[in-house]
């Protein structure tokens, strides 16, 4: 019996880590990738200790050659990749006067380019089999909000929405579904950073105006990713699902 295979970028911490655990508990073989080698390896080991199937590979999603070779390796080793969760991303606070071309390109190359590269690499194998699911992480800052001193992040996450829609249409005839997730305020290391994001106090304040009364946990997003990869979402493609506790609809 074939064990379904999911490849996750940025799987060492936060939403990526929670997703790796959730997919493993749902019966997937999880291919974890990250530039954070220690965190990624530890997560893989934890999954294996729980009785799941997992392996870690170092991957910088800016590296086209390494991305392509890793996908080829996984397909050779396990026969196929059933789902991809393109989660790797960064968010650096940079006011416009300090936003150099280099800083702009760095964020776009990871947050948007990284999604494109892993999807492009996985698509041929999925096309050959006539099935597959690609899931990309956007953000509420990419679908509804602007974020001061983070225009490069907002632009990249908006780009993910366009990428999802374009790929969904192009790949649908080959049986491949492409969807996105736009998380709201989720309690991750990124959000807890006072230097680059809300910080702990900011997250606590945010909970006051979220209709469900709390900020999200990585698991809240991970479970949606598992759903989108599953046959339960078989007629959903080209969509970006907002996971924000009602934040966007509640701000009026």
Residues 62-101 pLDDT 10s = 999 999 999 999 999 999 999 999 999 999 999 999 999 9
Residue 21 has pLDDT above 90, yes or no: yes
Give the model's pLDDT for residue 127.
98
Residue 56 has pLDDT above 90, yes or no: yes
User: What confidence category does residue 208 fall into, taking pLDDT thresholds of 50, 70 and 90?
Assistant: confident
The DSSP result for 40-51, as a single string, is HHHHHHHHHHTT
Query: H or E stretch including 85?
Result: strand 83-86
Give the model's pLDDT for residue 224.
98
Residue 202 has pLDDT above 90, yes or no: no
Check if the beta carbon of residue 133 is closer than 8 Å to that of residue 83: yes
Mean pLDDT score, 53-59: 98
User: What confidence category does residue 28 fall into, taking pLDDT thresholds of 50, 70 and 90?
Assistant: very high
Q: What is the pTM of this model?
A: 0.95
Compute CA distances 211 → 3, 220, 234, whole Å: 39, 15, 30
User: What confidence category does residue 1 fall into, taking pLDDT thresholds of 50, 70 and 90?
Assistant: confident
Check if the beta carbon of residue 87 is closer than 8 Å to that of residue 8: yes
Mean pLDDT score, 186-195: 63
Mean pLDDT score, 109-121: 98
Provide the 8-state DSSP code for 183.
E
Q: How far apart are CA 34 and CA 60, in angstroms?
A: 7
Residue 43 has pLDDT above 60, yes or no: yes
89 or 199: which leads in pLDDT? 89
Active-site residue list: 153
Q: How far apart are CA 161 and CA 137, in angstroms?
A: 9
Helix, strand and coil content of the chain, in percent to the nearest 5, comes to 55, 15, 30
187 or 62: which leads in pLDDT? 62
Give the model's pLDDT for residue 27.
98
- The b/e string for 172-201 (b: 16+ C-beta within 10 A; e otherwise) is eeeebbbbbbbbbbbbbebbeeeebbbeee
User: What confidence category does residue 190 fall into, taking pLDDT thresholds of 50, 70 and 90?
Assistant: low
Q: How far apart are CA 122 and CA 131, in angstroms?
A: 11
Mean pLDDT score, 127-140: 98
Residue 252 has pLDDT above 60, yes or no: no
What structural domains and CATH numbers belong to the chain? 5-184+218-245 (3.40.50.720)
């Amino acid at each position: 019996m074939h064990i379904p295979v999911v490849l996750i970028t940025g799987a060492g911490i936060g939403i990526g880590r929670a997703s790796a655990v959730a997919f493993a508990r749902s019966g997937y073989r999880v291919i974890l990738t990250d530039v954070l080698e220690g965190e990624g390896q530890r997560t893989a080991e934890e999954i294996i200790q729980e009785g799941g199937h997992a392996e870690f590979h170092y991957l910088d999603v800016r590296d086209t050659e390494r991305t392509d070779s890793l996908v080829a390796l996984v397909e050779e080793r396990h026969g196929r990749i059933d789902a991809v969760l393109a989660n790797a991303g960064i968010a650096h606070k940079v006011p416009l006067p300090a936003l150099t071309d280099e800083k702009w390109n760095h964020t776009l190359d990871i947050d948007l380019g990284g999604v494109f590269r892993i999807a492009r690499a996985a698509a041929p194998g999925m096309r050959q089999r006539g099935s597959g699911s690609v899931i990309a992480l956007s953000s509420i800052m990419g679908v509804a909000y602007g974020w001061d001193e983070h225009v490069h992040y907002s632009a990249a996450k908006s780009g993910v929405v366009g990428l999802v829609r374009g790929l969904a249409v192009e790949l649908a005839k080959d049986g491949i579904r492409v969807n996105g997730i736009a998380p709201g305020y989720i309690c991750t290391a990124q959000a807890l950073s006072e230097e680059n994001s809300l910080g702990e106090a900011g997250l606590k304040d945010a909970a006051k105006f979220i209709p469900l009364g709390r900020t999200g946990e990585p698991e809240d997003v991970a479970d949606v990713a598992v759903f989108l990869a599953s046959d339960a979402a078989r007629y959903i493609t080209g969509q970006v699902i907002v996971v924000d506790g009602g934040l966007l609809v509640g701000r009026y």
